[in-house]
Amino acid sequence: MEPSEVEGGEEKADPKLIWYVLKVQTNRENSIRKSLERRILREGLGDYFGQIIIPTERVVETKGGKKKVREQKLYPGYVMIQMILNDETWYLVRDTSGVGDFTGAAGKPHPMDENEVERMLGLEQQKEEEPTKVKIEFRVGDVVKITTGPFETFEGEIELIDEATGKISVLIEIFGRPTPVELEYHEVERP
């Protein structure tokens, strides 16, 4: 398809938008998405593009005793874009600063499989419904020291981690017997 055919209005946009994956510069995903959106509007190619998504999940981190919810990218360095692929749209995307290439073999853009698209879109829709996950930097089996409460200074082994609630179960020794204690993940540290 020649760009002049599109510009002259002789050809209409195909209503079938297809999802593709773009390799982009890591930590610039949001600015690249905004840049793509601006260029699409400026070039008048809105009919050839749909959504541009950066799949994320919400995680809770605690720093200095304060809980903070933040968005964490599921696929750093990648952006999903819904578009009709032709010479003009391909060039617009490829010529955007920060975009490396489409995923695919030998530089030929390869569309996402339907099940991948459904999974990705399902993640985006469930993001609001799902409870946030807590980012816990410990693993089951790690030895930790309790920093607050009645068991302060006790050391024990992590038996269970619940990322949904941010609680961990630590086995400590009381009167010579291992006893599980449920704690918030920020109430322990490495010894």
Q: Say if residue 191's pLDDT is above 50.
A: yes
Q: Say if residue 157's pLDDT is above 90.
A: yes
Question: What is the C-alpha to C-alpha distance for residues 191 and 186, in angstroms, rounded to an integer?
Answer: 14
Q: State the pLDDT confidence band at 48, using cuts at 50, 70 and 90.
A: very high
Question: What is the C-alpha to C-alpha distance for residues 52 and 81, in angstroms, rounded to an integer?
Answer: 4
Of 95-99, 113-117, 129-133, 175-179, the range with the highest mean pLDDT is 95-99
Amino acid present at 99? V
| CATH topology match: 3-130 vs 143-189 | no
**Span of 4-8, 23-27, 39-43, 130-134 with lowest mean pLDDT:** 4-8
Q: Look up the pTM and report it.
A: 0.58
Fold held by 143-189: SH3 type barrels. (2.30.30)
Give the pLDDT confidence score for residue 121 in this predicted structure: 74
Q: Is 77 left (phi over 0), alpha (psi -120 to 50) or beta?
A: left
Relative to beta strand 99-102, strand 78-83 is: unpaired
Q: Which two tokens stand for residue 136?
A: 């816990």
Q: What is the DSSP letter of 185?
A: G
First to last CA, the chain: 65
Alpha carbon of 130 to those of 5, 52, 124: distances in Å? Answer: 46, 22, 10
Spell out the domain ranges in the chain.
Answer: 3-130, 143-189
Q: State the pLDDT confidence band at 12, using cuts at 50, 70 and 90.
A: very low
CB-based contact 173:157 (threshold 8 Å): no
Please, which residues have CB within 8 angstroms of residue 85's CB and are 6 or more apart in sequence?
18, 20, 109
Give the pLDDT confidence score for residue 108 in this predicted structure: 76
Fold held by 3-130: Alpha-Beta Plaits (3.30.70)
* Residue closest to 155 by CA, chosen among 142, 168, 136: 142
Average pLDDT value for residue range 3-17: 48
